[in-house]
Chains A and B, each alone.
Chain A
């Protein structure tokens, strides 16, 4: 179905190619998972399949790419529209029409499909993806998961043979991500669709993939998940757990891992008693409410933050996490309740922006909203305003060393850009740092660096609140988890309690090793080192 032979891809003005001499064959009906760090050439590989490289992006392509028998050299993306469906990370950015039904029909209109056939195909897709009740809904009234399913449906109506998806679940909460992946899984089974899917967070997808293509430094290694994933830094926790425990074959899914787990559970023994070492309170909020029009985003929330803890704020998209953070910081709207910074009891809403920055910082989502200057050095200088010179650069180096001074913030990788924005916000050394979805789009290394820095901040007796959908990240970084639903805090407790309370929130290690109290592979390694003589 897809045949790449001897593909070398070079962007205009680049000194070295992004992809070097890549050979890859994907069979009909196969689900190929593409993994790799940011900048490894993963997106370029996908772009060669859709014809966007080089037709849209520019650049030089050597070798040949054939998709469903068509050479992308002679076929522009629009000429592939009937065989290749493309789904991106942000569905909202790709919508062309106003309602679900029209969006599903758009490709068909462009392809000149007769209107009777169009009608049947749209109805079929509405059923396949469970969108029938939403047919007349305006696209902007849909939730994130629904939007992504509409984006998939909009390319499915054209009856493509290949579906190319670039991080389709990275912006979704766990439930919505499951929803979208279940839909993809069904399509592969029912329609025999060939799917090429790139993703950073692969815990949920790895089990669905027939093969995995690991893109590293411009080359591609392909094999079954159990062959390729061991040793890869972004591998799901079960794979790393399997490696640690010496299981063979290495499990890829939680189900496979469970079968081999009993021995390890016995070796680890029962969960050890945990000592909580949180310090005194640094912030209290009482009866905090936020409304957006008729929607009550935050309903009378009481909460307190303590010195030296990392709190993960979790919950569905739209549960009120961002509104709560903005209200705590004081810049966001607040319709009731009060927030007091301790020990002096000051309300951050009453502080000037400059003064507030030194007490509690908020990293918004997207973090790039903060950046506006032409290069990294200028951003750092601007952020040093009112604090010691070089503070921002030092923060940046602590997080990601070696970001060039003269780079434009927009040209940085996702991880570097986040690091820069975070450094800007942390330069004034606030006692409390609030981070809104910082892990979106980060690869494994960037996430590890971020987790290490957040732990570091907590060890300096400062407080971190991080909103995230990434269960594994929360398991690594958080002491305490706040779970929000419909504007209310529905669970507030130690990470190991809240994260194991519902299956959807449970990290893989906790699911595989129930009762052991371990949440991450690092926990298991530490415990094994203790029990081993």
Chain B
């Protein structure tokens, strides 16, 4: 007992202050992601990426989510590398001085007549690099939100109407590792019987006990949740279901309207907005019908507001600066005070966090 306590306690103790509301981090990250989807200026992108990294390093907790950020960094690097390598392999040359004169390979016409390799020119390469950077940084934003807030807590913060969905995700998150261990355990057991793990018999010998185990587990969990009052306070309503269906249909039609230039204008944005309004109303109605309460709900204080505002402000600064939408190719990328300001504002939560820890 004591060993577990000692093993786990430090993480909770060392973490400065209480964890911020997860949705604050999501608001901050999504605002930055929205801005990054329009920013192409590599200096702007790198400044924002630096801001994201600084905030994550300053604010992440010492849990598995926090430690996962390294994985997102690697992934972002891979995105940039893939983009550059593919440019060298199949990209258009794009002008500028030749950096690397690779021999070209012309594929036969049945393979699309594509020219592989060939000379790699500076402008094209930089173009690919900038594109990769923007995409990688966009990915970093989502990684940051996931690393800064426990996804399970984020799901708990969703409106009551989405509670069953949140429960399903939490259960899946806990069951998945169990399924993996169960799979390994059964394979090992079958080896004891002398059953080779391959072939039809091997697959059957593994899959049947694992599935049986998973079904038993699912039944036990369902019975336990039932005995603990799950769904007890819900009075299901047909109205809510119907409203959600209507909202979904409106979303489909609205998206089609937006994408198809020939569609009448009322089919686009108005339909989407209308659908969203119906969905929110139905969610609120479903929430009111449920008498469920929440244990220690994450409070939304001034720090949460500050984090969200920093994100939105940085996004507005980035989106209103025309310089950030210029790559400056073939010349060097242009600079502006607004890009720097956007990055600084985006990084403010890092300071906020440190101060709260000292208090």
Contact = CB atoms under 8 A, between A and B. Distances in A.
Interface of A: 50-52, 55-56, 76-82, 84-86, 88, 90, 92-98, 101-102, 105-115, 118-119, 122, 130, 133-134, 136-143, 145-146, 154-155, 158, 326, 329, 331-332, 352-354, 356-357, 361-362, 364, 368-373, 383, 385-386, 410, 424-425
A77 B227 contact: yes
Interface string B193-214: 1111000000011101100100
B221 A362 contact: no
Nearest to B2: A133
B5 interface: yes
A369 B291 contact: no
Given A143-B4, A353-B192, A108 B293 contact: yes
B101 to A, nearest CB: 50
Given A98-B174, A109-B292, A331-B191, A155 B5 contact: no
A153 to B, nearest CB: 12
A370 B190 contact: yes
Contacts, number: 186
A114 B193 contact: no
Contact of A110 (B189, B208, B229): B229
A96 B192 contact: no
A383 B205 CA distance: 13
B228 interface: yes
Among B171, B173, B221, B232, max chain A CB count under 10 A is at B232
Contacts of B2: 133
B227 A136 contact: no
A51 B230 CA distance: 14
Given A88-B224, A98-B170, A112-B292, 7 more contacts: A97-B170, A102-B295, A112-B291, A115-B296, A137-B4, A138-B8, A155-B228
A145 B4 CA distance: 12
Contacts of B5: 133-134, 137
A425 B192 contact: yes
18 contacts: A81-B227, A81-B229, A95-B174, A105-B295, A111-B232, A118-B295, A122-B295, A133-B9, A134-B8, A136-B8, A326-B188, A353-B196, A364-B188, A364-B192, A369-B185, A369-B189, A371-B209, A410-B212
Given A94-B221, A134-B5, A369-B186, A357 B193 contact: yes
B231 interface: yes
Given A137-B4, A372-B208, A78 B226 contact: yes
Given A109-B292, A353-B191, A357-B194, A154 B228 contact: yes
A167 to B, nearest CB: 13
A361 B194 CA distance: 10
A143 B231 CA distance: 30
Contacts of A364: 185, 188-189, 192
Interface in B210-241: 212, 216-217, 220-233
Contact of A370 (B174, B189, B226): B189
Contacts of A354: 194
Contacts of A108: 293, 295
A532 to B, nearest CB: 48
Interface in B129-171: 152, 167, 170-171
Given A107-B228, A115-B294, A134-B5, A96 B193 contact: no
A143 B2 CA distance: 11
Given A98-B152, A105-B296, A368-B209, A362 B192 contact: yes
Contacts of A56: 222-223, 226
Is chain A's binding surface mostly helix, strand, loop or mixed?
A: helix
B167 to A, nearest CB: 7
Nearest to A89: B220
A92 B182 CA distance: 13
A364 B186 CA distance: 9
B293 A118 contact: yes
B14 to A, nearest CB: 12
A180 B145 CA distance: 40
Given A118-B295, A331-B188, A424-B193, A137 B226 contact: no
Nearest to B185: A369
B152 to A, nearest CB: 5
A372 B205 contact: yes
A141 B194 contact: no
B220 A90 contact: yes
A154 B295 CA distance: 13
Contacts of A356: 194
Nearest to A352: B194
Contacts of A332: 188
B359 interface: no
B193 A141 contact: no
Given A115-B293, A142-B4, A364-B188, A88 B220 contact: yes
A375 to B, nearest CB: 12
Those 6 A-B pairs whose CB atoms lie nearest each other, nearest first = A81-B229, A105-B295, A94-B224, A369-B189, A110-B229, A112-B291
